[in-house]
A and B are shown apart, each in its own frame.
Chain A
């Protein structure tokens, strides 16, 4: 691979859209080429400069303006008998999404009481599908699917004594803990945590390795994080990375780079990962 070809592939590489063999070829080239490595840094910088820095507030009167025009156009049926907008049980997704939207992630577990007894599988597709629109919200839907309720770290340890995980208040890179959740994947206990770094979401899910993972239409590729082999699914700038030790699969959803920021974060939430396993999880 020459520099021109390498540089054409840098964008797709950073975007998680490059096929695995092309990734390997590019990485080989990058090992030896300062120019292309510098170029890669520039592409990454541009990507992070373009990422939303602060939450944009939607003007409060926008809906009023839309509603007024709907009324004028006579498009909508008159407001129906005011049934509660978010109903427990009937529409779990809408409920979770709405609650997350309205008051943030921390309440999801408290109000969601529906049941969705899935066999011992962990289906990430609802999470992955929702990422392009709103990761925080997508994570809320995922939690709702598995009957999440909020708890403390002590609650989580007591609830899932067989899992090895840590949920520090502050992760490397400056992510602050927002909430801890106790989940149920069929017969198996799971634990999840939500973090925030100035509006940038990071989520962690811990489950027993025996639980089968599903990723919908998304492709799951092998990857290396620090000294550990794992696997990952990329959706846009988001990646869901899994590292497994004998008792626990540690899944972290973030926009962090696998080579730079992610290894420290994984080490912080997965303290019992054996050094340099060289083995592929699941």
Chain B
């Protein structure tokens, strides 16, 4: 629970209070942005945007969700917008994953698509759902408030995201065992 008094002081633009709010929340916010973008530089930039936006828009925070949820929402919106603008991360990560896959030992190709690589290859919305739930530990109600969807759709959205992630991982695992991958790029 972030203290009411702290919020008021942040709203009034008090720098000490802003620093205090940042200290209390920056670890999970940065961690989320890092996994969303898979890039420390991008996460750094987006974290700046998140807090600047949070400090200027704090007046609009209505207290219906927790402040933590509201901050997650600002961060997720920043990340999704960024990823839409520049689809670079997805492409970059797909290349990375493909490189991993292409590493070969004794003429036998091994796939090492770990859960982070697979996560980065998911559509950003799916990625956000999974991170909010399993990395940040948000309950369905908070996820709904963060993503801006109906609470009743969270379970099915998560099911779909989980399924897609599993397909990515499974393909790479299967491939690890097979002797002659036909289309490495397709599999990864």
Residues of A within 8 A of B (CB): 8, 11-12, 15-17, 42-43, 46-47, 49-52, 55-56, 58-59, 62-63, 65-67, 69-70, 73, 75-80, 83, 85, 91, 93-94, 97-98, 101-102, 126, 129-135, 137, 141, 234-238, 255
Q: Which of B85-93, B96-104, B131-139 contacts A (4 or more CB under 8 A)?
A: B131-139
- The reply to whether B115 and A132 contact each other, CB–CB distance below 8 Å, is no
Contact of B48 among A69, A78, A135 (CB under 8 A): A69
| Interface size, B (range) | 35 or more
- The reply to whether A131 and B166 contact each other, CB–CB distance below 8 Å, is no
Instruction: List chain B residues, Cβ under 8 A from A236.
Output: 133, 136-139, 142
- The reply to whether B159 and A8 contact each other, CB–CB distance below 8 Å, is yes
Query: In the assembly, what is the distance between CA of A237 and CA of B136, in Å?
Result: 9
User: When each residue 134-178 of chain B gets 1 if its CB lies under 8 Å from chain A and 0 otherwise, what string results?
Assistant: 111111101000000000000110110010011000000000000
Instruction: List chain A residues, Cβ under 8 A from B5.
Output: 91, 94
Instruction: List chain B residues, Cβ under 8 A from A51.
Output: 134-135
Q: Within the complex, what minimum Cβ distance (angstroms) separates A133 from chain B? A: 4
Q: A62-B48, A236-B139 are in contact. Are A76 and B14 (CB under 8 A)?
A: yes
- The reply to whether B3 and A91 contact each other, CB–CB distance below 8 Å, is yes
Instruction: List chain A residues, Cβ under 8 A from B109.
Output: none
Instruction: List chain A residues, Cβ under 8 A from B136.
Output: 132-133, 236
Instruction: List chain A residues, Cβ under 8 A from B2.
Output: 93
Q: Within the complex, what minimum Cβ distance (angstroms) separates A96 from chain B? A: 10
- The reply to whether A11 and B20 contact each other, CB–CB distance below 8 Å, is no
Instruction: List chain B residues, Cβ under 8 A from A62.
Output: 26, 30, 44, 47-48
A-facing residues in B2-30 (Cβ within 8 Å) = 2-3, 5-6, 12-16, 18-20, 22-28, 30
Contact of B137 among A43, A73, A132 (CB under 8 A): A132
Instruction: List chain A residues, Cβ under 8 A from B1.
Output: 93, 126, 129-130, 141
- The reply to whether B16 and A85 contact each other, CB–CB distance below 8 Å, is yes
Given A50-B115, A80-B15, A133-B68, 11 extra CB contacts under 8 A = A11-B155, A42-B166, A50-B119, A55-B27, A56-B27, A58-B47, A70-B52, A76-B15, A76-B18, A79-B16, A94-B6
- The reply to whether A67 and B155 contact each other, CB–CB distance below 8 Å, is no
Q: Within the complex, what minimum Cβ distance (angstroms) separates B16 from chain A? A: 6
